[in-house]
């Protein structure tokens, strides 16, 4: 019985096509591992997005305030023994930059498909002012009880309140309205699936607290020496004039924070953990926690402060400053991570 040569060729061709399809499917399955396998969940909006947008807005405002303060310092506004100029500049610049916080928070909140933008604005306005107000009331009460000049007079408090009510709040609302009406849309490179993907069990060193410790240690070690001189100037009544060096250190802090947060975000995505939104913010802002931990060492080993008033003033105001650094560096870390994540997943789409 003779075999049909055409049938043999067709059979061989079918087998080769089937084998090629199987190889392609295996290659696709091999590629769909790690960060590529979670492309349908990586742009899923975070929990508590109103609070998240408010934190990003406050961090952006604090970054703007810091830049303006450095500009004034470089041009010589804060000359020696003119300590009141810095506090005045902080109050005025904070009021004038409130629109930046309102616009950034409302615009980002609407991009995350949020609907209650009024509550988001209230949260943005109170996220930084609330802790500052509570701390100031407590510390000013302590100063009044001790009858020292550190207590602000009633007239100064009224002026600060009027600046907040007549300038800061209206600018915050106007910025929020402009951000809401900007109609900006979140441009996600990948489509988000309906059902969220389960996050696999992670080892202990990939937990949030451990990654925050790793993310905050390196930036803090880069600015450790400059922080000592700052603390000695503010709390030791020494003269600080090297603002250019301080600005360079600040740029280094931003760069290291952005890079270490991006690296940890990549490691998190490689472990198929798509909850990177809050993690990147917390890792970026963890340097502020290290700064506050350093306050305890400076108080006990480097300063001569004692008593209720000095202790409360030092730890109270440093808590506010470190909290501000936490918000600002958290926003920097998230923005750097967002740019990185969009870039790598856009490359998948192009392929």
Angstrom CA distances, 165 to 37, 160, 161, 176, 250, stand at: 50, 9, 6, 16, 31
Neighbours of 208 (CB within 10 A): 15
Tally of helices (H runs) and strands (E runs) in the chain: 11, 0
Q: Are 274 and 199 in contact (CB under 8 A)?
A: yes
pLDDT tens digit sequence for 100-124: 999 999 999 999 888 888 999 999 9
**In the block, residue with structure tokens 């020696």:** 80
- pLDDT at res. 190: 81
Q: Pick the residue with more confidence: 31 or 348?
A: 348
DSSP-derived secondary structure for 114-126: ---HHHHHHHHHH
pLDDT tens digit sequence for 47-63: 899 999 999 999 999 99
Q: Are 57 and 108 in contact (CB under 8 A)?
A: yes
Per domain, the residue ranges of the chain are 49-187, 205-351
Helix axes 98-111, 117-146, angle to 10 degrees: 140
Residues found in the chain: 351
Q: Are 269 and 201 in contact (CB under 8 A)?
A: no
- φ/ψ (deg, to 5) at 26: -65, -40
pTM as predicted: 0.86
The answer on pLDDT for 304 being more than 70 is yes
């Amino acid at each position: 019985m003779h075999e049909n040569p055409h049938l043999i060729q067709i059979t061989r061709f079918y087998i080769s096509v089937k084998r090629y399809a199987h190889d392609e499917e295996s290659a696709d399955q091999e590629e769909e591992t790690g960060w590529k396998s979670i492309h349908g969940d990586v742009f899923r909006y975070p929990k508590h997005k109103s609070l998240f947008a408010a934190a990003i807005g406050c961090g952006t405002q604090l970054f703007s305030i810091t830049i303006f303060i450095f500009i004034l310092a470089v041009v010589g506004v804060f000359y020696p023994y003119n300590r009141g100029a810095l506090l005045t500049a902080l109050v005025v610049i904070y009021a004038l930059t409130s629109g930046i916080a309102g616009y950034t928070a409302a615009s980002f909140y609407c991009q995350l498909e949020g609907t209650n933008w009024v509550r988001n604005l209230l949260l943005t306005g109170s996220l930084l002012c609330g802790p500052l107000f509570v701390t100031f009331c407590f510390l000013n009460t302590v100063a009044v009880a001790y009858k020292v000049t550190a207590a602000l007079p009633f007239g100064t408090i009224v002026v600060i309140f009027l600046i907040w009510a007549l300038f800061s709040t209206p600018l915050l609302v106007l910025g929020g309205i402009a951000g809401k009406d900007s109609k900006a849309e979140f441009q996600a490179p990948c489509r988000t699936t309906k059902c969220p993907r389960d996050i696999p069990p992670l080892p202990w060193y990939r937990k949030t607290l451990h990654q925050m410790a790793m993310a905050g240690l390196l930036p803090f070690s880069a600015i450790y020496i400059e922080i000592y001189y700052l603390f000695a100037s503010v709390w030791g009544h020494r003269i600080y004039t090297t603002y250019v060096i301080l600005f360079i250190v600040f740029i280094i802090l931003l760069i290291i924070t952005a890079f270490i947060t991006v690296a940890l975000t990549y490691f998190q995505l490689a472990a198929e953990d798509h909850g990177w939104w809050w993690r990147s913010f917390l890792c970026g802002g963890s340097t502020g926690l290290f700064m506050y931990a350093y306050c305890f060492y400076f108080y006990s080993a480097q300063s001569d402060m004692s008593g209720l008033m000095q202790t409360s003033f030092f730890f109270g105001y440093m808590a506010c400053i470190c909290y501000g650094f936490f918000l600002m560096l958290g926003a920097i870390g998230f923005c750097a991570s967002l740019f990185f994540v969009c870039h790598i997943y856009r490359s998948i789409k192009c392929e």
